[in-house]
């Protein structure tokens, strides 16, 4: 299981990279647009915070030719180990095939159907990114879709991994892992929500109260 941050917000990347064992950062044009910063300086700044971790950057072109040029420019700026995110339509499949034959790391994104994942895997995508919440929004059973993709990859001994994305709540993240996703990427706040709950706060307050009642304000290291 690996978790990534689906954000381009520098302060959040620094903060969450410090707290959690983040495997990397993903973004898309919508996420980048929220930061209102120039594209290359922004992805370079993100790269400088996570020099040895995964960085997934999406291309925006509509043709294979454009996407290949964008991939070249992105890897020139932030390194060849960067994952190029390519939307999985027919032009995208063609692009993924060519990028893989040139040695790029590739994430096939905008997956709404297992069929897209299957085709992306046949051309060697490193990751496929099924959109959990967006699938739900169009009445596609996201858990079932991920289960099917996971079954296909396992049954056919495929190296492609599932990087589930598009989450609106923490249960969706759990469901994606339970369905067989190897990795998820989510907005930082959702990771916080997983460990924030009034019951947790109340348990911690109870322990503190009992400690103070017996040992006063001294900490464990002061009692040795």
Catalytic residue ranges:
85
Q: How far is the CB of 118 from ligand G3P (least distance, A)?
A: 20
Alpha-carbon distances of 207 from 161, 199, 201, 222, rounded to whole Å: 42, 12, 10, 18
Query: In a 3-state reduction of DSSP, which class is residue 214?
Result: helix
Q: How far is the CB of 106 from ligand G3P (least distance, A)?
A: 15
**Structure tokens given for 53:** 């971790």
Q: How far is the CB of 168 from ligand G3P (least distance, A)?
A: 7
Among 78, 86, 135, 165, binds ligand G3P (CB under 6 A): 165
**Structure tokens given for 125:** 């995508």
Ranges of beta strands (E only) in 27-125 are: 54-58, 83-87, 105-111
**Structure tokens given for 44:** 């370079």
Q: Which of residues 23-52 bind ligand G3P (CB under 6 A)?
A: 26, 28, 30
Query: In a 3-state reduction of DSSP, which class is residue 120?
Result: helix
Q: How far is the CB of 197 from ligand G3P (least distance, A)?
A: 23
User: CA-to-CA distance for 67 and 110, rounded, in angstroms?
Assistant: 15
Nearer to ligand G3P, 26 or 183 (CB): 26
User: CA-to-CA distance for 87 and 107, rounded, in angstroms?
Assistant: 9
User: CA-to-CA distance for 186 and 172, rounded, in angstroms?
Assistant: 10
Nearer to ligand G3P, 140 or 211 (CB): 140
Among 62, 63, 133, 171, binds ligand G3P (CB under 6 A): 133
Tell whether residue 88 is a contact of ligand G3P (CB under 6 A): no
Cα torsion 44, 49, 52, 56 to 10°: value is -50
Nearer to ligand G3P, 160 or 172 (CB): 172
Tell whether residue 166 is a contact of ligand G3P (CB under 6 A): yes
Tell whether residue 6 is a contact of ligand G3P (CB under 6 A): yes
Nearer to ligand G3P, 95 or 166 (CB): 166
Tell whether residue 209 is a contact of ligand G3P (CB under 6 A): no
Tell whether residue 136 is a contact of ligand G3P (CB under 6 A): no
Among 134, 143, 161, 182, binds ligand G3P (CB under 6 A): 134
Ranges of beta strands (E only) in the chain are: 2-6, 22-26, 54-58, 83-87, 105-111, 127-130, 161-164, 183-186
Q: Which residues bind ligand G3P (CB under 6 A)?
A: 6, 26, 28, 30, 131, 133-134, 165-166
């Amino acid at each position: 299981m690996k978790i990534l941050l689906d954000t381009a917000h520098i302060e959040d990347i620094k903060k969450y990279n410090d707290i959690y064992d983040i495997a990397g950062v993903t973004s898309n044009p919508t996420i980048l647009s929220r930061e209102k910063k120039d594209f290359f300086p922004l992805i370079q700044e993100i790269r400088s915070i996570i020099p040895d971790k995964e960085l997934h950057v999406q291309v925006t072109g509509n043709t294979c030719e454009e996407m290949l040029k964008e991939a070249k420019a992105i890897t020139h700026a932030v390194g060849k180990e960067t994952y190029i995110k390519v939307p999985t339509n027919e032009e995208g499949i063609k692009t993924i095939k060519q990028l893989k034959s040139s040695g790029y790391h590739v994430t096939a994104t905008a997956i709404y159907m297992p069929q897209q994942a299957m085709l992306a895997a046949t051309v060697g995508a490193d990751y496929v990114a099924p959109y959990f919440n967006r699938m739900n929004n169009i009445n596609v059973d996201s858990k079932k879709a991920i289960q099917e993709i996971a079954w296909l990859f396992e049954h056919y001994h495929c190296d492609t991994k599932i990087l589930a994305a598009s989450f609106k709540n923490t249960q969706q993240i759990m469901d994606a892992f339970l369905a067989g996703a190897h990795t998820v990427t989510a907005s930082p706040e959702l990771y916080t929500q997983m460990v924030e709950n009034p019951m947790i706060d109340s348990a911690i307050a109870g322990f503190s109260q009992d400690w103070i009642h017996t040992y006063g304000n001294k900490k464990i290291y002061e009692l040795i």
